[in-house]
């Protein structure tokens, strides 16, 4: 349960150095509030409820200079993913060492995602998976402990547990109060990606990110809410975004839905600028 979850008292206390050793600032005097070594850049992308990590493994070579973290509440799943990332990094290191001593040309990963059997990969990928990590956390409670205001450029919520029964809806990771937190940690222009195979949950997502006609008061005004801070991307924008393809085809859950010929409902929202106070 939660009392066994570790979390920093603030983002400035978070020790990321062991998660991204390749990105630790070479200056050892640069430390954060808990005395941990600082990184050369901030973590920018979060996969909420990342499961076995297919999204991050797929995104890692596409965004090799961007630090990404998957957050997952289940211990066994998190342990699997941590060793998966560790194995991918070691494999890349071995391939790089071999390339340095060999005169043969080495195959290069195309920036394409690797597959389930990725640990058997023989290609060198941009970023070498040094830019992804995973943390055990309950994102419903601790997201602002890890990320500062406007720190993130992307949040992914892929195939969230549907919690079908109405009395379980409060367990959904899309809600008015959680969306306020997502808006807080996302920077203006940042994107929040969602995908589900449950059509009713897709409509729930749309209702919770966008104002609905029935919210309008008699005087024509709409109550302020986190919905003021999001706008939905068009289909053309989704087509042009390679992250959407990874989300649709590379997460473990999306592969399951593909195998079962299920439908996938995608909605991506842009974090608008903060309103100006007059
Ligand atoms: N996103 C992955 C994918 O597309 O393959 C996994 C989807 S799975 C249906 C949902 C995941 O969210 C599970 O692994 C579950 O343990 C995790 N999860 C549920 N609630 C969570 C929470 N509050 N914090 C972190 N992870 C959570």
- pTM of model > 0.90: yes
Ligand 1 pocket, residue 74 CB under 6 Å: yes
Stretch 249-268: mean pLDDT: 97
Question: pLDDT, tens digit, for every residue of 197-230?
Answer: 999 999 999 999 998 888 889 898 888 888 889 9
Q: Whose CA is nearest to atom 24 of ligand 1?
A: 138
Question: pLDDT, tens digit, for every residue of 91-137?
Answer: 999 999 988 887 777 667 655 455 555 666 778 999 999 999 999 99
Q: Which of 146, 135, 130 is nearest to 65 (CA)?
A: 130
Stretch 184-203: mean pLDDT: 97
Residues contributing to the annotated binding site for S-adenosyl-L-methionine: 49, 72-73, 138-139, 158, 251-253
Does residue 2 have a pLDDT over 60?
Answer: no
Beta bridge partners of 135: 71
Residue 87: pLDDT band with limits 50, 70, 90: very high
Residues with catalytic function: 161
Domains and CATH numbers, the chain: 2-6+41-213+223-271 (3.40.50.150)
* 8 Å CB contact between 141 and 2: yes
* Minimum-distance ligand 1 atom for the alpha carbon of 252: 5
Q: What ipTM was estimated for this complex?
A: 0.99
- Alpha-carbon distance of 199 to 196, in angstroms, equals 7
């Amino acid at each position: 349960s939660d009392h066994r979850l570790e979390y920093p008292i603030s983002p400035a206390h978070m020790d990321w150095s062991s998660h991204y050793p390749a990105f630790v600032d070479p200056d050892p005097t640069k430390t954060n509030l808990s005395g941990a070594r600082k990184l050369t850049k901030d973590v920018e992308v979060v996969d909420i409820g990342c499961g076995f990590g297919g999204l991050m493994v797929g995104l890692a070579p596409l965004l090799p200079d961007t630090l990404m973290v998957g957050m997952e509440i289940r211990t066994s799943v998190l342990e699997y993913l941590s060793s998966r990332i560790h194995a991918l990094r070691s494999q890349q290191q071995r391939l790089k060492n071999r390339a340095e001593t060999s005169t043969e040309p080495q195959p290069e990963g195309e920036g394409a995602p690797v597959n389930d059997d990725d640990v058997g990969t023989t290609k060198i990928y941009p970023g070498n998976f040094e830019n992804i990590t995973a943390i055990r956390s309950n994102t419903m409670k601790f997201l602002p402990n890890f990320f500062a205001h406007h720190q993130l450029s992307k949040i992914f919520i892929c195939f969230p547990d549907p919690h079908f029964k109405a009395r379980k809806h409060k367990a959904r990771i899309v809600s008015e109060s959680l969306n306020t937190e997502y808006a807080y940690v996302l920077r203006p222009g940042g994107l929040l990606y969602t995908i589900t195979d449950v059509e009713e949950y897709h409509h729930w997502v749309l209702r919770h990110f966008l104002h609905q006609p029935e919210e309008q008061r008699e005087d024509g005004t709409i109550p302020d809410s986190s919905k003021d801070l999001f706008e939905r991307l068009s289909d053309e924008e989704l087509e042009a975004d390679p992250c959407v393809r990874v989300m649709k085809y590379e997460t473990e859950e999306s592969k399951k839905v593909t195998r079962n010929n299920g439908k996938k409902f995608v909605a991506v929202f842009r974090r608008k600028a903060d309103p100006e106070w007059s």
